[in-house]
Structure 1
Amino acid sequence: MMTSNQTASTSSTVGARAYLEQMVRRYYSGLIDAWHYAGETEKAMESAAEAVRQGVWDQPLQRAREHIPGLSAQPLHDPAEFWFTSYLEESYPQIRAEIEQVLDTPLDPVAPSTNDAGLIRRGAWKQAHLFRDGRWQNRVSERFPITTAILERIPDVTVLSPGVITVSRVTPDTHIMPHCGPTNGLLRIHLPIKIPAGVSIRVADQVLQWEEGKCLVFDDSFEHEVWHRGTEDRVVLILDVLHPELSGDHQERLLRRQHNFEEQIVSFMRERGLRQVRVQDGEVVLTPDDTVRQLVETYLSGIGITGAELDGEEVQWERQDSQPGPAE
């Protein structure tokens, strides 16, 4: 019989192992994303195949950073599996009318996506979150009262899902590079609002075209990318729902994320090597941990630079005994 100390030790070991596995997946994901961003598709797939050989993932095109074992892995799901997809499709005319009434007006909250900026090879991807982090985003949802009222009748995408509800807008000549969602515990639902000619999405090895008013359900932990070769903006309403086979502790952990903002902050800090974050006088102040601090000091002091500031594609350097100047 295990003592309480032995149980605690075992739990700690399991937790450390899970954290290590997640870090390995994160680093592999970063490597694969970097190859894709560089346009080196073959090298990206070689890295994904190597990760599978090392047991990081089960298959090269499904690369969730948080991989929940035992869930059926299929890129596309039948929308009829979910009771509310027919309700969404019936409500499509009302949702589309309201979204079109708001877009391109002073009330339009849809803006360039800062979180996903690294996925844009060219063009523009704009988004507005009606729901995220377990709560309605009132500044946005109040702009879409009819759509919000419709969605409030679907607990699967609010009360029972830690995902997002987003108005997504992609401009012509946009390419969103191949990428994978963070967990296989969620499925992604697209309700296409406005689909011009020339737009498509690839999920795993299948290239698809959206159909206005018809839900598309896919597992976004599979690699997917978007092309827009048309001449008008593509608009989609995005929703997340729990994987239908998810249960037990895994489900509870995902649902707990809706309310546990402290864990999200801690995860954010650890991923980025931060020791402290705070808001002071309206400014966000970030303090790096010792590892990041040492790296920065080593990189900068060795070449006589005291600071650097990114402004889009431009870099402003601060050099010892000199004024800031543009990148050489």
Structure 2
Amino acid sequence: MTPEIDAYFEVVKSEHGADSLARVEEMLEPRRRSEQRHPLQQAAKWVLPGIPQVPWHDPYAYPELLPLVNALEAESAQIKSEHELAWAQRRASFSDYEHYLVRQNNWQALYLYRDGALVPDSAAVAPTAYRMLKEHAVDTGVICPLLESHFSTLLPGAVIKPHCDLWNFSINLHLAIDIPEGAAIRVAGETRPWEEGKTLLFDYSFEHEAWNKGATARTCVLADLWHPDTTLPERSALTMLMTEIQKMMAA
């Protein structure tokens, strides 16, 4: 770690207790790279110990996330309508999705939250989704500021190849808003379909893939949220840690 990271960790521990970052510090030990991981988590770069090794989660099981889940599902018809209008009339608001592993032109994104902040231009393009995200994820602190939220549209024939995302301390929420027959997602070997108007929640440090074999586009609203089993001091330290690592990698 750098002196800046060490100093920040000491501040957090002085406020929350000497053991408040024990799991984060353990995660950074070199020997943790492959120990105590599920076989389908091996490609993730960082695995915070103590997070349950459960690929699929019940989106209604976590009080912290439930207001967002309920709000998105309640407003799903309006969110879908606004997306359809944007897709038809404001296509310039969409861009190729840039995953850390790949960029795909048959995977389109309309960003609601990115680079640690809401995307102001999306408020006019997708006002209901923007408002739900702001009120129930950003203002409440459940969104992971290291990542993003966006409308994710897979064009017909698009395939997202099997991969693990970077870490297990955030979790991925999907609201299904436009799902053709032949579209599905597989996480840790278990395939599930999306159901329009409903959410799915999964740990994307596990190997996962998705496809759209349908005749029309598949669209979900995706939100990267803090894993409910992380603590507030851990979230603070992880945000600083990963931000510094990203800076060093970009230098």
TM-score (norm 1): 0.61
The equivalent position to 2:218 in structure 1, one of 226, 229, 234, is 234
Residue equivalent to 2:207: 223
Shift of 1:87: 2.0
Measured in 2, the distance between the counterparts of 1:141 and 1:208 equals 31
The equivalent position to 1:173 in structure 2, one of 130, 137, 157, is 157
CA 17–86 in structure 1, closer or farther in 2 if over 3 Å, else same: closer
Residue equivalent to 2:66: 83
* 8 Å contact from structure 2 (residues 27, 48) kept in 1: no
The equivalent position to 1:21 in structure 2, one of 17, 23, 30, is 30
Q: C-alpha offsets along residues 141-185 of structure 1, whole Å, 9 cap, x if unaligned?
A: 432223212222203686332231111010111111111121111
Residue equivalent to 1:113: 97
Shift of 1:267: 3.3
Measured in 1, the distance between the counterparts of 2:101 and 2:229 equals 32
* 8 Å contact from structure 2 (residues 96, 103) kept in 1: no
Q: Secondary structure at the match of 1:220?
A: coil
CA 158–235 in structure 1, closer or farther in 2 if over 3 Å, else same: farther
Shift of 1:19: 5.8
Q: Secondary structure at the match of 2:174?
A: strand
CA 17–194 in structure 1, closer or farther in 2 if over 3 Å, else same: closer
* 8 Å contact from structure 1 (residues 119, 177) kept in 2: no
Gaps of 5+ in 1: 1-6, 26-51, 275-328
CA 267–16 in structure 1, closer or farther in 2 if over 3 Å, else same: farther
* 8 Å contact from structure 2 (residues 75, 128) kept in 1: no
Q: Secondary structure at the match of 1:113?
A: strand
- Check if 1:208 corresponds to 2:189: no
The equivalent position to 1:69 in structure 2, one of 45, 49, 68, is 49
* 8 Å contact from structure 1 (residues 77, 218) kept in 2: yes
* 8 Å contact from structure 2 (residues 72, 129) kept in 1: no
Q: Which moved more, 1:203-212 or 1:243-252?
A: 243-252
The equivalent position to 2:39 in structure 1, one of 56, 60, 76, is 60
Q: Which moved more, 1:144-153 or 1:95-104?
A: 144-153
Q: Secondary structure at the match of 2:60?
A: helix
- Check if 1:155 corresponds to 2:134: no
Residue equivalent to 1:131: 113
Residue equivalent to 2:14: none
Shift of 1:137: 1.4
Gaps of 5+ in 2: 1-5, 11-21
Shift of 1:112: 1.3
Q: Secondary structure at the match of 2:225?
A: strand
Greater C-alpha radius of gyration: 1
Residue equivalent to 1:288: none
- Check if 1:267 corresponds to 2:251: no
Residue identity matched to 1:135:
A
Q: Secondary structure at the match of 2:177?
A: strand
Q: C-alpha offsets along residues 237-296 of structure 1, whole Å, 9 cap, x if unaligned?
A: 001221111115422223447xx96x2652332xxxx4xxxxxxxxxxxxxxxxxxxxxx
Residue identity matched to 2:237:
R
* 8 Å contact from structure 1 (residues 119, 176) kept in 2: no
CA 58–115 in structure 1, closer or farther in 2 if over 3 Å, else same: closer
RMSD over equivalenced CA pairs, Å: 3.1
Percentage of identical aligned residues:
29
Residue identity matched to 1:126:
Q
Shift of 1:18: 6.3
* 8 Å contact from structure 2 (residues 156, 212) kept in 1: yes
Measured in 2, the distance between the counterparts of 1:215 and 1:203 equals 15
Measured in 2, the distance between the counterparts of 1:240 and 1:118 equals 18
Q: Which moved more, 1:157-166 or 1:209-218?
A: 157-166
Residue equivalent to 1:311: none
